[in-house]
A and B are shown apart, each in its own frame.
Chain A
């Protein structure tokens, strides 16, 4: 039998958990990960990565459909849904194997099973692991990090059934692509699937309960995205409540109340993307000081739960529900446990967010409205893709980059982008925010020509009335 006593045991092998484990191993701690399903977690197996593979397909498909705009003649374009899904699964499994390799390389023991806190003995935390092979293993650790992630939220009346009403999981591996689709919820997950299926030819309706889509984004980004999607033929209903779903045969009829009117639409499939709930069940939290609020574990700035030597990171520990936030938390919690000097709590204002719809959306920090609501005087800069040479050359003239500065201090409060490749651009502003640059350093930075990144420069210049190319 393998070793059962560790310095750190991470419960959950998703992006937060496996990164925490690697960092712990780097610091010389004896480390184990308990994973009940698949290393890499949702992100790698059923989230970020396989959806990016699908969206790449739809992007290429879209380019081919517009081939004549690039002087190319392409005939008889079609696709094979099975092959598209197969590619996505291959990408996921390649990376999942990669994570297993990383565990081995870092001498991290992986237990395939579900772990539960099981009290304290001799100053060590005890964990009972129900292994996949039905055996039970008792582990002890000086510290436990809970990184169990989250799952799709099920609203009463809108529950997924895996057949007609999907969550992200079924939406990722459809046996065939639906001809018509209703997406409930317009956060990142909902919008990415809406965008994917629309590009692949489905009639897509998005129902969002709030007054705008992508509600965490800057209002101007939401408005621009709505127009862009509508131009692509997507139907968008905001302020919309889906009352119930009636299933009949291979169709679903939804009753949607929006703008004081009720309407019925009938679609092949429904994707329910109405948020997530934390995986806090069956962890043995009962009788401990671990507090759960709204399905999430409450932590302090160091990931500490209040129960001695028990920490939590990632989705299970609250928003924003982003893999990179979980990874960063994993590193900082482990470093704090290991007593590394100079560990800093995470600044939520410096966590970028990306949505891989077409056009892409990326942002960091405060929206213009949030900055004003915080009582800050702002300087706002905006630069459109149409003013950028590279964007025109790419045939991507739609979108803009918006920057929000504190008028008093020159602090970059936030940046909001929509358009081609902006998910690859946002890191520039992340670095800027982490280094606490002001507009002066950004203005003094040389951006390469011709690139989309020039718009990041122009947007800063625009905030101070100095834009060059518009």
Chain B
């Protein structure tokens, strides 16, 4: 397991890799608007592991979706920056490319495609993209990368299996391999151990720590302080703000 204290001590102060500035997000449930984020600020340095800790309904997942470009803040509701550039005003292909190349998502319920094999699921992000921009070369790289990741995660013998034939821990490892296949700079994980038993969950955290040790920036949202404790830094989300 990585040593969070040691990592914290060695982090240089640089431009944040990913940043949320005074982000507000409101959902409408029928006629009733519910403000989930009320001005959340978060700054994550390159190579940092940040845990966002919060209770259920505190807006953790919403913050993660906003950081990952799946959702947008309210109008005039702050901004999300990646490498110093705002992504919340980015549209179309650039935003798709951001999600494909710069970000990797890991979800609580794995979210693997049941029709595809383990290997196909893992290399799926490598198959997504614009063929006009050297996509085929990237696909070949993704194929190699997916094989190597699954092998290193102990799933080399499961490549042709379908997700339905795997255990929960194996599925989550496939999901992590998928998130890493395009070598993203940030991995966003939403309760990655939330659906696993303690031992399996610990294995997943070890795996994440291992990637973090190799320089991967991690943002994990969780309600579990034990999971958050693995991070370099813990921030709490309460009443729609980062405390």
- Do chains A and B interact in one complex? no
